[in-house]
Amino acid sequence: MGEGNTNLKMTLIKTERATKIFKEDSEPVFALSSVSIQIEAGEFTALSGPSGSGKTTLLNLIGCLDRPSEGKIYFDGNEVSKLSQHQLTEFRLRKIGFIFQDYNLIPAFTAIENIEYVLWLQGTGAAERRKKAVEVCDRFGIKKLINRRPFEMSRGQQQRVAVARAIVHKPKIVLGDELTANLDHKTGTELMEFLKELNREENITFLYATHDPAVLKQANRIITLEDGKLTGEKVGANVSL
């Protein structure tokens, strides 16, 4: 029992002086500058900062969508920043879930086909894919939506399908960028409460970027960035804005 509790608190993500440099008119632009953080398994953490602060860049590095120009990224103790492109693709597919600001649902697919998509990419058989997708639809209360296509759903319904797709393969971490940007206040609040419920009940680790104070208040920890640099952190009782 003791060992199990320790595992729940193990370091899942670690960045060491992560830096991302882009070229603009032949001049280097530091989108991220020497950022070192740790994310423990089971955290519900927000990245805060104004537009251009480096939040999305950091998410892209942690999500293996991009590589650091300098520094290292570790996932479960393994350095992922040195993996090949093929290895990164496979790693993302099996270890990470993504909730995009614009949802990125496939328009021609029904809700359940969108949810099954990552399982199809993993090579899961049709019957097993459908079984897992139906189970997650039941869990999310969206079973009535399974045969609808994105244009037949509200923004809130699309977001729930996107969340279901993000966790159906049981990833180690779910990353989100401005999760509530396209939602009204009520729907956004319901979404964040739902994600916190998943975090509590299933110990899913969430890391999301936002500049919305109401969404930041939902986090158990806030990491603040500005001009690509780590500028502060609030944890637990000190997280209130």
Nearby residues of 57 by Cβ (< 8 Å), 6 or more positions away: 20, 31, 32, 66, 228
How far apart are the C-alpha atoms of 237 and 221, rounded to whole Å? 9
Model confidence pLDDT, tens digit, residues 29-81:
899 999 999 999 999 999 999 988 999 999 999 999 999 999 999 999 999 98
Hey, what are 66's tokens?
């991009």
Contact status, residue 43 vs residue 207, Cβ threshold 8 Å? yes
Would you say residue 240 lies in a domain?
no
The pLDDT value given to residue 112: 97
| Over residues 3-18, mean pLDDT | 74
What is the sign of the dihedral through the CA atoms of 186, 203, 50 and 54? negative
- Would you say 135 and 213 are in contact if contact means Cβ atoms under 8 Å apart? no
Residue 125 located in a structural domain: yes
Q: Is the residue at 48 inside a domain?
A: yes
DSSP state of 180: T
Residue 239 has a pLDDT of 61
Residue range 119-137: mean pLDDT, rounded = 95
Beta bridge partners of 235: 221
Considering the chain, what percentage of its residues have pLDDT values greater than 90?
65
Average per-residue pLDDT for the chain: 89
Q: Which residue in this structure is represented by tokens 């869990």?
A: 139
Domain boundaries, position 103: 2-235
Cα angle, residue 8 at apex, residues 95 and 232 outer, rounded to 5°: 85
Does residue 35 form part of some domain?
Answer: yes
Average pLDDT score over residue span 110-135 = 96
Name the more confident of 123 and 141.
Answer: 123
Kindly state whether residue 137 falls inside one of the protein's structural domains: yes
- The count of domains in the chain is 1
Is pLDDT above 70 for 241?
no
Token readout for 29 is 């632009």
Give the integer Cα–Cα distance in Å for 123 and 138: 23
- For residue 241, being part of any structural domain is answered with no
**pLDDT tens-digit series, residues 194-240:** 889 889 888 889 999 998 888 898 899 999 999 999 999 988 645 65
Looking at residue 211, which CATH number applies to its domain? 3.40.50.300
Q: What is the CA radius of gyration of the chain?
A: 18
Residue 226 domain-assigned? yes
- Coil, helix or strand for 33? strand
Q: List, in order, residues 6 or more apart from 168 with CB less than 8 Å away.
A: 115, 116, 118, 119, 132, 133, 136
